[in-house]
Amino acid sequence: MSRPGVPYAGVVTRAVALAVDVALAHLIVFAGGAVIALVGSLVGDVRLDTLARLIAAVAWVAVVGAYFVLFWSTAGQTPGMRLMGLRLMSSQTGTHPSVGRSVVRLIGLGLAIVPLFLGFVPVLFDAQRRGLPDFMARTVVLYADRDHVPAPRPAPAPAHATDVTMSLRENEPT
């Protein structure tokens, strides 16, 4: 259960947002397919052979992929995430992810869904409620109405820097 003040989004909220986004993305694909079918029916008798089906599948992947990558990299949230009050941020920079990180997250989303959504199980146990897509892209999903922004992780200090500081302190007069 969510504790008050915890900014990280839970599994149910994320699932509802994903369902809304998948429905919207498919609506776009179906609308595009309907326009193409209408034009095809006006032009003449069009049949879907194997090549046409392959092109349709590639177009589906491109449209659905572009939907997620475009929204994640430009706004930091999809329409479904906005509806559920969520936002996506890089766990390293505290800003929305880049296009490259969004593509990695999309690949992670596919890998998380394929084995019966098992890639989302870590959301139940991780302190930052990250699933496979979040681990792969180094992102976190937060509630948008919370003020918490994950601070960038500081770079670890080199081992020799601590040794130098210690030796300088030892040589100081007291």
CB 29 within 8 A of CB 58: no
Taking 60 as the threshold, does the pLDDT of residue 138 lie above it?
yes
Q: Which residues contact 123 (CB under 8 A, 6 or more apart)?
A: 10, 11, 14, 129, 130, 131
Q: Give the whole-number percent of the chain exceeding pLDDT 70.
A: 79
The predicted-structure confidence for 50-72, as pLDDT tens digits, reads as follows 888 899 999 999 999 999 999 99
Q: What is the pLDDT of residue 154?
A: 56
The predicted-structure confidence for 111-125, as pLDDT tens digits, reads as follows 999 999 999 999 999
More reliable by pLDDT, 146 or 35: 35
Q: Which residues contact 88 (CB under 8 A, 6 or more apart)?
A: 72, 76, 77, 81, 96, 97, 105, 139, 140, 141, 142
Taking 70 as the threshold, does the pLDDT of residue 83 lie above it?
yes
Q: What is the pLDDT of residue 121?
A: 96
pLDDT category at 2 given cuts 50, 70, 90 is very low
Question: Residue 32 CB: number of other CB atoms within 10 A?
Answer: 14
Tokens of 169: 């302190």
Pairing of strands 139-143, 86-90: antiparallel
CB 108 within 8 A of CB 135: yes
Mean pLDDT computed over 17-30 = 97
Taking 90 as the threshold, does the pLDDT of residue 46 lie above it?
no
One-letter amino acid of 51:
L
pLDDT category at 4 given cuts 50, 70, 90 is low
Give all strands (DSSP E) within the chain, no chain letters. 86-90, 139-143
Number of helical (H) and strand (E) elements in the chain, helices listed first: 6, 2
Tokens of 152: 């960038």
Phi, psi dihedrals of residue 85, rounded to the nearest 5°: 75, 40
Taking 80 as the threshold, does the pLDDT of residue 19 lie above it?
yes
Rg (CA), the chain: 23
* Residue-range domain boundaries for the chain: 11-153
One-letter amino acid of 160:
H
